[in-house]
Structure 1
Amino acid sequence: MVTQEFEQRTRQLIDSLKGICAAYGLGNDGNEFKIITQVFLYKFLNDKFTYEAKKIRPELGQALTWEKAMAALTIDELDMLQLQMGPDTARLKPEHFLAHLFGRQNAPEFAKLFDDTLQDIAYTNNDIFAVKTDGGEKIRLFDRVSEFIADPSKRDNFCRALINKLVEFSFERIFTQKYDFYAALFEYLIKDYNSNSGGKYAEYYTPHSVAKIMAAILVPEQVRGKIKNVSCYDPSAGSGTLLMNIAHAIGEQRCSIYSQDISQKSSSLLRLNLILNNLVHSIPNVIQGNTMLHPYHREEGKTLKKFDYIVSNPPFKMDFSDFRNELDSKEHRERFFAGVPNTPKQAVGKMAIYQLFLQHIIHSLKPGGKAAVVVPTGFTSAQSGIDKGIRQHLVDNRMLAGVVAMPSNIFATTGTNVSILFIDATNKENVVLIDASGLGTKVKDGKNQKTLLSDAEEDRIIATFNSKQAEEDFAVVVSYADIAAKDYSLSAGQYFEVKIEYSELTPVQFTAEMRGFSERLNKLFDESTGLKADINKQLAGLRYE
C-alpha cells in the first residue's frame, strides 16, 4: 500500500514538473526532457544523500533541522561521512542541498545560483557520473537548466517554481525498494521522451514482457545468487530496460554493465536508470557513440572486449548509408563474418542494420557467453543471404539455445513481427523453438494496437524454454542436425508434427458419404453448364459501335 501510494505521488511530481515547463513555454519542447529528468535526478540525489547520512550518523535525523546539523559538521567530519557512504551516493556539500536553495530563492539572480549549484554537483561527481562519448569527451550530469528558458527575465521565477515543487516531496521512505518499483517510475518519467516516431535514429522502449523473458531464460532461477563478477553488454542500449532486467536477475553488485548507443538522449536516460537502480559503479562504462563504426569497449590489446552476457533490441531499419562503405573493409571483416547488408538507393526503411548488430554480438561473446537478441521474425526462415549465413554460423558452431516467436504487435509502435534469439556458446545439444504467436490479449495503445502477455503466459514461455519440454503446437526440441536438414530454419512451425485425423466409417456410411459428394458435384457441374451457355449468349450479343 505504501509503495502504491508513493508511486502515485511520484507520478504527480513528474506531472507537476511538466506543468511548470508548459507554463513557461517548454511543453513538448525538445529540451523539456532534459529539464524534467535532471530536476528529478537532483531531488533523488539529495534524498539519497540524506537517507545515507542519517543511517551513518543517527543524530542528524534526530535534529530539529537536519540540514542545519549537517552544515554544522566540520570539514573533517563531512569528509569522513562521505567516505563512509557507498559509491552510489553523490558527494554533496551543504550548499548543494535543496533546503539551502529553498532558503535563498528570493536572492537576486536565483536562476544563476540554481544553475551554479547543479554545475558544481556535476563537477564534484564528474569521475563517477559522467557519460563518455566514443571520442573521449565527458557528458556531465547536469546542464544549466534555466538557460533553456529563452527570456532571461523569466528564469528566476522558473527555477523558484521548480524548487517549491521539489521541496514538497521526499524519496527517503522508499529507498528500501528494489528494481521493480523504480522500473515503473522510470517508464512513467520518460514515456513522452523516448520517441518511437521513426526517423534516422528512432528509439523504441522495449516492453517489460520481452525484457523479463530474456532475463529469466539467460539467468534461470536456479543460478540466481550464484553468479558473480560477470559483464553484461548492450550495443544498442537505449534507456536500458534490458540491462536493468538482467542486472536485477544476476544481482546489481554481482555484475558490471557496459553499453553503447548512438543517441545522446538515450545515454543520458540510461545514466538516470543506473542511478535509480544502484548501478552507479557502471556509469563509466556507458558510451555514447556509433557501435557499428566505432565500437568502444576493448581489451588492453585493443581487440574488442568479450562479454559474459549480451542483451539487445537493435534497430531493424536504421539508415546507415552514410557509413556503409567504411564497414565493408578489412578492419571490420572479421566482425561481420556473414557480410555487410547493401543499402538500397530507394526504400531506406528496408536497411537491415540488425544484421550488423547481430554479427557484432556474436563476435563480442566470451567462449562461454550467452546472449538474447530481438530480431524480426523473418530472420528465422530467410532462404538466403546474410540472415541465413548468420543462422548457419550459429548452428555449425553449436552456439544456439533457441528462439521464441512473439505475438504480433508486442511492440505497439511497429508492425514488425519479432522473435527473441537466444545464443549460448555452451549449448552443444538440443535447441528449443517456441511459437508464442498465439498468446496475449489485444488492447488499444493510443492509435496503435498492442498485444499484452499475462504473467501466466510469460511464465509458460520461460518454463517451457528452460525445461526444454516439447509441447504440441507450441514448442519443439530439435537437434542441430535437424536444423541443418531444414535449410537452417529456426521457425518452430516447420518442425511441428502434422497430424491427420481418420474417421472410422461402415460400408453403408461410406456409400452414403460418396453419394452425397457425387450429388453436390453433379449440381455444380449443371450450374457451370448453364453459366457457360449464359456467357456465350452474352458474348454473341456484343456489337462494335
Structure 2
Amino acid sequence: MTSTAEQIEHFIATLASLGGSAGNQRLLEALAWPESTYQRIKQQLIETKRINPGRGRGGSVALAPAEDTVVHIEKFEGQPTQPKTKDLQPNQAPNPEIDYADALWKAADKLRGNMEPSDYKHVALGLIFLKYISDSFEARHAELLEEDPLAAEDKDEYIADNIFWVPKEARWSHLKANAKRPQIGTLVDDAMRAIEKDNESLKSVLPKEYARPALNKVMLGELIDLISGIALGEGENKSKDVLGRVYEYFLSQFAGSEGKRGGEFYTPRSVVRLLVEMLEPYQGRVYDPCCGSGGMFVQSEKFVREHGGRIGDIAIYGQESNYTTWRLAKMNLAVRRIDADISWNNEGSFHKDEFAAKRGNDGAPIKADFILANPPFNISDWGGERLKDDVRWKFGIPPAGNANYAWLQHIYHHLAPFGTAGVVLANGSMSSGQSGEGDIRKAMIEADTVDCMVALPGQLFYSTQIPACLWFLARDKSNGKAGKSHLRDRRGEVLFIDARNMGQLVDRTRRELTDDDALKIATTYHAWRGEQNAGNYQDIPGFCKSSTLEEIREHGHVLTPGRYVGAQTAEIDSEVFSEKMQRLSAEWRQWQKEATRLTTVIEANLKELGYGG
C-alpha cells in the first residue's frame, strides 16, 4: 500500500511537472486517484503550506514559494517527515525557476531506477531536446496554417526562422500518444533519425538508443509523460526559456551524480557566470577550445541579452574532443537557438586545431575577441612530445607531463589584437617551477600578457577537489576595448584578487559563488581596468591588490594572489562590552526556548508513532 508520505511526494512531483500550478480536474486526472484521496492529500498540503489554493471555476492549486531558512517538522496524519533545511542565505530570495526544475529533476530521477546516471543522462536530455524542437515547430506551424496553409508544409519557412523541421512521425504529440506502447523505444529512435535526416546541422548528434532491451519501456513512457507536462506559457520564446533552463539544470544535476566524470562535460554555472561577467563579451568572436556541453556559450548569450545587446553581434566557435560531450553541446545550444560553429575530432585542440583552419571573408585566419575555457587540470597524456616545434609555444615548450601551459599558450595564440581570455586552471599553475613551467610563466609575465589573477574558493567543481584559479590574459593592455568602454593603460600592472573565502556551501561537498560574489569580483576588475561607470579602483587588504611587474619579480614571478593582497583589515568592534554581552545572552536564551519547543514537538510526534519515552 502506498504511504501518505509517498502520496504527498507524488502529488508535489506531478504538480511540478504541470508547471507548478494546475486546475483541480487536470491534476486529478494526471494523478489518476480517487476523488477522496486527492482531496485528503490536497488539504494536508494546504494546511502545511506546501501548496496554495487558487481561484477559477473548478478551483486550482499551486506550489507554495520556497520557505525562509528554518528547521521544522511537518506532520501528515501523525507521520512526521524528515526535518527539512533550506540552503538559502538570509538575504537570498527563493528562485521559483530552480525550484520548478528541481521538482522535475526529482521526479525524473525517481523514474531512473537502477540505470546509471551516465546512461540516463542521454535518455532524459534527448527527450527534453526533442520536446523543445517539436514545440518550436508546432508553434510556427500553427501560425503558418492561419497565414498560408501551403506554407505550413514548406520546410524553407521554418529554416528562415531558425526552427528545425520536424516530420509528423517525430512530433511530440505522436510520441506522447504512443508513450504506453511497448514499441515506444523504437518510435523515439525513428523520430531522432527522421529529424537528423531533415536537418543537416543535427546529423550524428541525437541519441538513438531508446529501443535497446536494457532500457525499461514503462519508465520511458512515464518519462515522456513527465516531460509532456512541462508548462511553457505563451509563445515559442517562453518554450525556449523554460526548456533551456530545464536542460541546463538537468546537466548540472547529472554532473553532480557522476562526480569526476561529470566535470568532464560541465563547468559549474557560478564559475562560468563569473568568467562571462568579467570579460563582458558584448561583440565579436567567442571561442572555447575545450567547450564541454557549451555552458560558456549559453552564459555568453544570456549576458548579451541581459545587457540589451544583440545576440547576432557575437559569433561562437568551439571544439570538443569527446564525441558524446560534443553531442550534448550541440543539443544544449540548439535548445537555446544559439547558432554556433562547434567542431569535433578525437585528436583535440592541440593536435588538430580546428579554429586555426577558420578563415574570414578576406581569407585570413580569424582570431578570437574573447576566449573562455575550463580545460582539464594537469593532464599528463596530451602528446606534447610530438609538438615541440609548434608555432603556438611563443613563451616556451610546455612540459609533456602537464598541459596547463600548453592551454595558456594555445589560447593566447588565438587572441585577436585586442582580445582577452579567461581560463580556469589548477592553483599549481600560478607557482609551479617544474619542467620549465616557471620559465614559461616568467616569459608570459615579462611580455605583459597577464591582466588579472583570481584565487577561487575550494569545492566549486564536481570533478576535482583541487583548488582552482582564474587566469585573465590580454593581447594589448595599452588601450584595449571592452564592450562600449575604453580601458586605461595597464601595462606593467597585474590585478590580484583573493576570493578563497567567498561562496556558500550548497551541500556537504560543494560550494557556489553567489551572484553578489561574482558582482564584487567583476566590478573590482572593471574598475581596475578603467571602465566607465565602474567606479574608482582601490586596493583592499585581504581581497585585491594592483601590483607592478617589479613586485612580481621580487616574488620570483609567482602569481598566487595571497602573496600580494596581504591580510584582511580587522573590523573595529565599537559595541560596548556590557551591552554586547547582554544582547548575546538574550539571543542565546531565545535559541534555548526554540530548542525546547522543537524537542516537545518531536517527542509528541514520536509518541503518536508509538515510540514515546
TM normalised by structure 2 equals 0.64
Q: 1:211 aligns with which of 260, 263, 272?
A: 272
Mapped partners of 1:297, 1:497: distance in 2: 41
Residue correspondence of structure 1 range 315-394 to structure 2 within 5 A: 315-320=376-381, 323-328=383-388, 330=389, 332=390, 334-335=392-393, 337-343=395-401, 352-383=402-433, 385-394=435-444
1:112 CA drift (Å): 3.1
Partner of 1:467: 527
Provide the residue aligned with 2:335 in structure 1.
Answer: 276
Q: Indicate the larger mover: 6-15 or 456-465.
A: 6-15
Helix, strand or coil at the partner of 1:466: helix
Aligned counterparts of 1:337 and 1:433: Cα–Cα separation in 2: 21
Whether the 8 Å CA contact 1:216–1:462 is kept in 2: the answer is yes
| Residue pairs, 1:469-508, within 5 angstroms | 469-473=537-541, 474-496=543-565
Q: Residue 355 of structure 1 aligns to a residue in which SS?
A: helix
Instruction: In structure 2, list runs of 5 or more residues that go unmatched.
Output: 1-19, 22-64, 66-94, 305-309, 479-488, 529-536, 571-613
* Alignment check: 8 A CA contact 1:213 1:462 kept: yes
Paired residues of 2:319 and 2:354 also in contact (CA < 8 A): yes
Counterpart position of 1:116: 190
Bigger radius of gyration among the two: 1
**CA distance 1:465–1:178, shift in 2 (3 Å):** farther
Q: CA deviation at 1:106?
A: 7.5
By how many angstroms is 1:439 displaced?
A: 3.0
| Counterpart contact for 1:146–1:159, Cα < 8 Å | no
Separation in 1, partners of 2:337, 2:131: 16
Q: For the residues of structure 1 that align with 2:236 and 2:288, how far apart are their CA atoms?
A: 27
Is 1:48–2:136 an aligned residue pair?
A: yes
SS at match of 1:373: strand
Q: Distance in 2 between matches of 1:495 and 1:30?
A: 43
Q: Equivalent residue of 1:193, what SS?
A: helix
Query: What residue in structure 1 maps to residue 157 of structure 2?
Result: 82
* 1:401-460 alpha-carbon deviations (Å, 9 max, x no partner): 2111222333365332222111111213433423333532552624x2x34333333221
Deviates more, 1:161-170 or 1:243-252: 161-170
Whole-Å separation in 1 of the counterparts to 2:557 and 2:373:
22
State the Cα deviation string for residues 123-154 of structure 1 (Å, max 9, x = none).
Answer: 111x2224xxxxxxxx232314222x338xx6
Give the aligned partner of residue 265 of structure 1: 324
Q: What percent identity do the matched residue pairs reach?
A: 19
Aligned to 1:436: 498
1:142 aligns with 2:142: no
Question: SS of the counterpart of 1:309?
Answer: strand
- Residue of structure 2 in register with 1:296 after alignment: 354
Q: C-alpha root-mean-square deviation of aligned residues, in Å?
A: 3.7
Give the partner amino acid of 1:367. Answer: P
Which one-letter code corresponds to 1:82 in the other structure? E
Residue of structure 1 in register with 2:447 after alignment: 397
Match of 2:174 in 1: 100
Amino acid at match of 1:240: G
Amino acid at match of 2:206: L
Is 1:245 the equivalent of 2:299? Answer: yes
SS of the aligned residue for 1:420 comes to strand
Deviation at 1:484, TM superposition (A): 4.0
CA positional deviation for 1:34: 1.5
SS in 2 for 1:320: coil
Task: Give the conservation status (yes or no) of the 8 Å contact 1:327–1:340.
Answer: no
The residue number in structure 2 matching 1:518 is none
Name the SS of the counterpart of 2:416 in structure 1: strand
Query: Is residue 247 of structure 2 the alignment partner of residue 186 of structure 1?
Result: yes
Output one character per residue of 1:240-287: Cα deviation in whole Å (capped at 9) or x when no partner: 2222222332453222221122222321221222122220x21x4242
CA 1:182–1:499 in structure 2 vs 1: closer, same or farther (change >3 Å)?
closer
2:122 is the alignment partner of 1:34: yes
Contact kept, 8 Å, 2:285 with 2:315, in 1: the verdict is: yes
| Count of residue pairs brought into register by the alignment | 448
Contact in 2 for aligned 1:439/1:453 (Cα 8 Å): no
Residue 480 to residue 52, structure 1, CA distance change in 2 (3 Å): farther
Aligned position for 2:165? 91
Task: Name the structure 2 match of 1:236.
Answer: 290
Report SS of the residue matched to 2:287.
strand
The equivalent of 2:368 in structure 1 is 307
What is the identity, as a one-letter code, of the residue corresponding to 1:191?
Answer: S
For residues 9-30 of structure 1, the C-alpha deviation after alignment (integer angstroms, 9 at most, x for no partner) is: 55444444444442xx5x2164
Task: State the Cα distance separating 1:493 from its structure 2 match.
Answer: 3.8
Query: What TM-score do you get using the length of structure 1 for normalisation?
Result: 0.71
Q: Secondary structure of 1:118's partner? A: helix
- 1:364 aligned partner, one-letter code: H
